[in-house]
Amino acid sequence: MTAHRTLTAEGISLAYGDRIIVDTLDLTVPAGKVTAIVGANACGKSTLLKAMARLLSPKAGQVLLDGKNIHRMPTKQVARDLGLLPQSPIAPEGIAVSDLVSRGRTPHHGPLARWTPADDAAVAEALEATDIVAIADRPVDELSGGQRQRVWIAMALAQQTDVLLLDEPTTFLDVSHQIDVLDLLTDLNHTRGTTIVMVLHDLNLAARYADHLVAMSAGRIFASGEPEHVLTAETVREVFGLDSRVIPDPLTGRPLVLPIGRHHVPAPLDGAAR
Ligand SMILES: Nc1ncnc2c1ncn2[C@@H]1O[C@H](COP(=O)(O)OP(=O)(O)O)[C@@H](O)[C@H]1O
Ligand SMILES: [Mg+2]
């Protein structure tokens, strides 16, 4: 079991130039749990994750890791405790899969950068867990979007941090690989106690896999807590501007959102013309 780290944002305001994206937001990431963040496009999810991972300095407020302001901690120290899979990571040209995954070990090396058997083991485990052993020697540039996404997840796993932040880890993945990745992250949470925070677009998978669900709207937290309490038709309407019906997932009892568009909806009960 890893130590549980506490990660909190206190009154953070985030901006690009003069444009404020997130205004005085508080967030406590439950230690040792799986948190999912959902919200409409451009509401500030990636911006928030970047600030939590020390890649973006708040204009006001602070992000605390174990009570210390992460923006005052050395990069390498933060990277040993906290890993980030960004939304659109860019691989160095021509790099092979295993070399990219190996870069996840960098924060663990001292100034002499000596590679150890523990590094080999961490990389091998990450390749195995993400099912990319067979493509370990291929150049990352030549992979499909889904294969590439699994390589990035492997790199984040190889870092073996106590906290893992993932920005849309399931994009580009087919449905079975989406489930594989979410199961894998849950395993990591159960066996190592890794605190997971992930941005997800699929509300139903978010409700199924998260212990703690955060719904963001226009740079604010609209609702947070247990998925059953957060994912309601009202939340879906307020956060996404979408009508829906929310029923219990017959497999898990968690909320299941059925979106209501303009087509393919049953006729009104009174049979009135629409
Ligand atoms: N590097 C950047 N420079 C300027 N504006 C940005 C930058 N990144 C994101 N934004 C803007 O910030 C807002 C929030 O973006 P983002 O956090 O990426 O949203 P989300 O991840 O929820 O889709 C958007 O309006 C986006 O255009
Ligand atoms: Mg984003």
Q: What is the pLDDT of residues 200-251, one digit of tens each?
A: 999 999 999 999 999 999 999 999 999 999 999 999 999 999 999 999 999 9
Question: Does the domain made of 7-259 have the CATH classification 3.40.50.300?
Answer: yes
Q: Decide: 219 in ligand 1 pocket, CB within 6 A.
A: no
Ligand nearest to the CA of 216: 1
Q: Which of 74, 24, 70 is nearest to 50 (CA)?
A: 70
| 5 Cβ below 6 A of ligand 1 | no
At residue 110, the pLDDT reads 76
State the residue for tokens 């992250």. Answer: 185
CA 242 to chain centroid, in Å, comes to: 23
Per-domain residue ranges of the chain: 7-259
- Give the pLDDT confidence of 44-56 residue by residue, as tens digits: 999 999 999 999 9
Distance 55 CA to ligand 2 centre (A): 14
**Contact of 260 with 253, CB cutoff 8 Å:** no
The burial of 218, by beta-carbon neighbours within 10 Å (0-12 exposed, 13-18 middle, 19 or more buried), is given as middle
Element (H, E) at 175: helix 175-192
Rounded distance from Cα 220 to ligand 2 centre (Å):
14
Predicted structure pTM score = 0.94
Would you call 74 helix, strand, or coil by DSSP? coil
Q: Of all atoms in ligand 1, which is nearest to the CA of residue 17? A: 4
What confidence tens digit (pLDDT) does each residue in 172-188 have?
899 999 999 999 999 99
Residue 42 pLDDT: 97
Assign 114 a pLDDT band (cuts: 50, 70, 90): confident
List 149's β-bridge partners, or say none.
none
pLDDT in tens, 79-103: 999 999 999 999 999 999 999 999 9
**Is residue 204 in contact with ligand 1, taking CB distance under 6 Å?**
no
Q: What pLDDT does residue 272 have?
A: 52
Please tell me the predicted confidence (pLDDT) of residue 2: 61
pLDDT in the model for residue 28: 98
Atom of ligand 1 nearest to the CA of 44: 17
Residue 265 or 273, more confident: 265
Closest residue (by CA) to atom 26 of ligand 1? 42
The response to whether residue 43 sits with its C-beta less than 6 Å from ligand 1 reads yes
The residue whose C-alpha atom lies closest to atom 24 belonging to ligand 1 is 42
Which is it for the CA torsion 115, 120, 125, 126, positive or negative? Answer: positive
pLDDT cut 90: percent of the chain above it: 88
